[in-house]
Amino acid sequence: MKTCLGIELGSTRIKAMTIDEGFQPVSSGDYTWASRYKNGVWTYPLEEVWRGLKTALSQVEGREDIAAMGVSAMMHGYLAFDKDWKLLTPFRTWQNTITGPAAAELTELFGFNIPQRWSIAHLYQAVLNGEAHVPQIAHITTLAGYVHYMLTGVNAVGVGEASGMFPIDSAALGYDAGMLAKFSALPKVEALPWKLENLLPKVLTAGESAGMLTESGAALLDGLLVPGIPFAPAEGDAGTGMTATNAVAPRTGN
C-alpha cells in the first residue's frame, strides 16, 4: 500500500502522519516542543527541529511505502542565512512583536497591510536596527522552507507560505514586483549588498514538483526515510489547514 507523508512543525508539536490513497490516516508520530524566550526573542533551536522530526518519524509505521511527502510549519518569522546556509541569528518566530516600526513603515509604503509577524517586517526591522548580520544575508526563509531545503536541496516554498513572507501578485503567482522595487529603493536597503528578490525562496504552486529527498537529506533523518521520495512544495499552517478542512472549495471561507 502506497502512502503520502505529511510533516508539520507546529508551535507545540512536531507531527508526522501518513495517509492512504483514500485520504485515510494510516500511521502517525509526534514530538512535543515549546518556544523559548532568549535575549528578547521567541525562538526554537534548529537542532531541536531535527531531534523532533526523527522522534516523530520513528513512530510512523510502513515508512518504506511512502510514495510522496511534504512539509508544513508555523508560518512567517525570520530565518536568515549566509551564502553557505549558515544561520546568522537565532530563528525569530511569528510570536515576536518586535517589528512595529518596520511593519508600520512598510504598510504605508506598499499601501498593503504588513503584519509584524511577516518575514519582510522582521528583515526590515533588522535593517532599521543596523544589526551586524544584515549585510551577510544570502537567503531568508521560513521554518517549512528551511526543512524543505535541507531535505531536498530545493530553495522554494508554496505560494501560500510565500504570502506570509512578502506580498504576492495573485495574477503572476509570485512576489509583487512593484512592492519589491519600492522596498529596494528604501535608502537603508539601497545601500546594502543584496537585492530582496535574490534572498527570497522561489514560489511554487500546488501540484508543482518541489524536488525529492536527497542522500544528504535522508542522512539528516538518520536513514528513517529512503532517498528519492518526491516532495510537494513546502506550505504554511494556514494553507494546509484550509486544505484539511476543505476551505479551498468554491464559496468557502477561512
Q: Quick one: cell of 144?
A: 517549512
**189 and 213 belong to one structural domain:** no
pLDDT per position as a tens digit, 220-231: 999 999 999 999
Point out the least confidently predicted range of 131-135, 195-199, 244-248: 244-248
**59, pLDDT greater than 90:** yes
User: What is the tally of structural domains in the chain?
Assistant: 2
Residue 146 belongs to some domain of the structure: no
Q: Find the domain containing 114 and state its range.
A: 76-141+166-199
223 within some domain: yes
Asked whether residue 217 falls in the same domain as residue 128, the answer is: no
Q: What is the pLDDT of residues 75-114, one digit of tens each?
A: 999 999 999 999 999 999 999 999 999 999 999 999 999 9
The three-state (H, E, C) secondary structure of 8-68, written as one string: EECCCEEEEEEECCCCCEEEEEEEECCCEEECCEEECCHHHHHHHHHHHHHCCCCHHHEEE
pLDDT of residue 254: 57
Assess if residue 99 is contained within a domain. yes
Residue 205: half-sphere exposure toward Cβ, Cα within 13 Å: 8
CATH number at residue 179: 3.30.420.40
Residue 232 lies in a domain: yes
